[in-house]
Amino acid sequence: MPRGSGDQGRSGSSSRGGKGSGRLQEMGGDTLQLVVDYVKQETLDPLKGLGRFILFGVAGSVLIAGGFVILMIGLLRLLQTESAFTGNLSWVPYVIVTVVTVGVAIVAGAAVQKGQARKRIATDKEKA
């Protein structure tokens, strides 16, 4: 009988150790969940915001480009119908519209470069 009582004692002490390790596992699981939630908060949420920013930026760019194309076609039609560019000069409205389009593209590119330069200057000032 002493062996039987000894086995019970061991299983009792084993169960007490199991409860302690269970708490440790629970705390470890909580810590792991906390880390996972933190990583999601700091990486996935900003990426979702970035995705929305890019989506609206692309959609806006497409709509502005489409409007600009329609505007240039309207200008071309206006120059073709309401001007003296007929006969041998029928190509002049196309050149005028092309020059206007290239000019707008240059102005837009310059505005983008100016904005990027401002960001660089502000970043350099913050670092200094």
- Mean pLDDT computed over 38-51: 85
Low-confidence winner among 12-21, 23-32, 44-53 (lowest mean pLDDT): 12-21
**Under a CB-based contact definition with an 8 Å cutoff, are residues 37 and 66 in contact?**
no
**Residue with structure tokens 């970035």?**
50
Taking the C-alpha atoms of residue 100 and residue 102, their distance in angstroms, rounded to an integer, is 6
**Domain-by-domain residue ranges, the chain?**
2-127
Which pLDDT value is given to residue 9? 45
pTM exceeds 0.85, yes or no: no
Kindly write down the DSSP assignment for every residue of 6-61, as one continuous string: HHHHHHHHHHHHHHHHHHHHHHHHHHHHHHHHHHIIIIIHHHHHHHHHHHHHHHHH
- 126 versus 100: which is more confidently predicted? 100
Q: In the predicted model, is pLDDT for residue 1 greater than 70?
A: no
**Whether pLDDT at 26 is above 80:** no
pLDDT of residue 76: 96
- 20 pLDDT band (50/70/90 cuts)? low
Secondary structure letter of residue 91 according to DSSP: T
Q: Report phi then psi at 82, rounded to 5.
A: -105, 20
pLDDT, one tens digit per residue, over 74-124 is 999 999 998 888 889 999 999 999 999 999 999 999 998 988 878 778 777
Question: What single-letter DSSP state applies at residue 64?
Answer: H
